[in-house]
Structure 1
Amino acid sequence: MNHAVEINHVRKVYRVGEQKVVALNDISLQIPRGEVCCLLGTSGSGKTTLLNLMAGLEKPTKGTIQIEGKSIEKMDEQRLAEFRQRYVGFVFQSYNLLPSLTALENVSLPLTFRGMKKQLRENAALDLLKAVGLKRYATHKPTQMSGGQQQRVGIARAFVGKPPIVFADEPTGNLDSKTTHEVMQLILEMAKQNNQTLILVTHDRSIAAYADRVVYILDGHIEKIEINHEKYKGENQ
């Protein structure tokens, strides 16, 4: 089976003054391509640290991390930046939209970094805004949109470059229950369209229910992994 993510015996230690704090200890995990995987744990469990390692935002103290067959722990900062631009999309809890830019400009940012011509990237961004139901908000700035609308813009930005993997860190943490369901359905639908791997980080078990695989993180190690057999069964019928 082809894996989007292969993690082997990863350990992450932070130095706080003269003390060493073990954030992750002996983590090994494989995530198949096209799967929805949820890292579930309470605050301080290590789940966000694990996401940061997979996304190339931090480096492990020990162990290996392969993303789409590439050993990212060996990359320097320039290669990591290029890797993230090409292979990774992010959806954030706090939206992380640039307030001075319109929705269209925010969505097209990843394509700007890739050097795509303006007309092509604006066309692609407009297509994604249409897909998330916000085409008429293309010229609006974040302050002119609701939280749910801003998160939809963030989702469009994460998917516009069609990266193989999308990371979503507490993507519905600032949303009400109705908007949460709508946003989750949207993220899942967009990932499925392009067979993208989706990795969710959350403390919320109701969000974990959307995943094919749930990885329970506790005190820096994997406590257990559950496969959602009912979801697989439904998709294969």
Structure 2
Amino acid sequence: MIKKAIELKNVRKVYRVGEEKVIALNDISFSVDYGEVCCLLGTSGSGKSTLLNMMAGLEKPTRGQVIVNGRHVEKMDENRLVQFRQKNIGFVFQSYNLLPTLTAIENVSLPLTFRGVNKKIRERLAVEMLEAVGLKTHIKHKPTQMSGGQQQRVGIARAFVTKAPIIFADEPTGNLDSKTTDEVLKLMLRLVKENNQALVLVTHDKGISKFAHKVYYMLDGNIEKVEVNSSKMGG
């Protein structure tokens, strides 16, 4: 049985900019368990987004191993990566990334469409997810008819609808006020716990880190320190 949701071993990423080498990640090793919320905290340019891209298979490491749900993503070609992401990863974005011409139910059911799920089943699952995130009355609404918080709830429903074992959230509350931020994060945490998923939060906002089991402070491509939230580790 696979115990670790994510495991990085000595991951290094170097970019060439003209004659110069820029080290984006410098020998990073860490892991995330199922049922765990991990926060990558750092300013712009700290390496946190590059690290997220590594885990999602969007970028290849210069060296090192990236093991996600038991599979070496650094060894996969693009076709296999696309299939892998569809089955194993859900994404929540800062800018919501909803399709403006689609209703909430259509946006949420989109990942299931890519999986070839029957229309009746995917609509039922999408409605269930929208109800779970408190948008039962908004299933036919398009993004322009919803607030930022409501749009992000649709984004969360879309990320969780496939029950993917791993969820990546890149600055998921960057466009939200503090009250909505708390609501959205508590919602994600509840869903992660219910489904025993791994959640990786990427943020520059220290206030968000209180929701995580472990906080990795990033600076200049390094993990500077790790903070364990003991009150969260118990559940």
- Give deviations 1:138-165, integer Å, cap 9, x for gaps: 1111111100000000000000000000
Question: Where do 1:142-157 residues align within 5 Å?
Answer: 142-157=143-158
Indicate the SS of the match to 2:211: coil
RMSD of aligned Cα (Å): 1.0
Alignment match, 2:81: 80
Question: TM-score with structure 2 length normalisation?
Answer: 0.97
Residue 118 of structure 1 pairs with residue 116 of structure 2 = no
Match of 1:196 in 2: 197
Separation in 2, partners of 1:143, 1:14: 39
How far apart are the structure 2 equivalents of 1:93 and 1:17? 31
Q: CA deviation at 1:129?
A: 0.5
2-structure distance, mates of 1:138, 1:231: 33
Mapped partners of 2:4, 2:72: distance in 1: 13
Q: Which residue of 1 aligns with 2:110?
A: 109
Which position in structure 2 is the counterpart of 1:182? Answer: 183
What letter matches 1:218 in structure 2? L
SS in structure 2 of the partner of residue 209 of structure 1: helix
> Structure 2: how far apart are the matches of 1:33 and 1:120?
27
Q: Which runs of 4+ in 1 moved over 6 A?
A: none
Find the counterpart in structure 2 of residue 232 from structure 1: 233
> Structure 1-normalised TM-score?
0.96
Once the two structures are superposed, what CA deviation does each residue of 1:162-195 show, in whole Å capped at 9, x if it has no partner?
A: 0000000111010001101100110100111100
Corresponding residue number in structure 1 for 2:164: 163
Residue type at the aligned position of 1:200: L
The 2-side partners of 1:43 and 1:198 are apart by: 21
Please state how far the C-alpha of 1:18 moved relative to its aligned partner: 3.4
Structure 2: which 5+ residue stretches go unaligned? Answer: none
Alpha-carbon shift at residue 214 of structure 1 (Å): 0.6
Structure 1 residue runs of 5 or longer lacking an equivalent are none
Q: What is the SS of the residue equivalent to 1:172?
A: coil
Q: Which residue of 1 aligns with 2:36?
A: 35
Which segment drifts farther, 160-169 or 26-35? 26-35
Amino acid at match of 2:142: K
AA aligned to 1:88 is: I
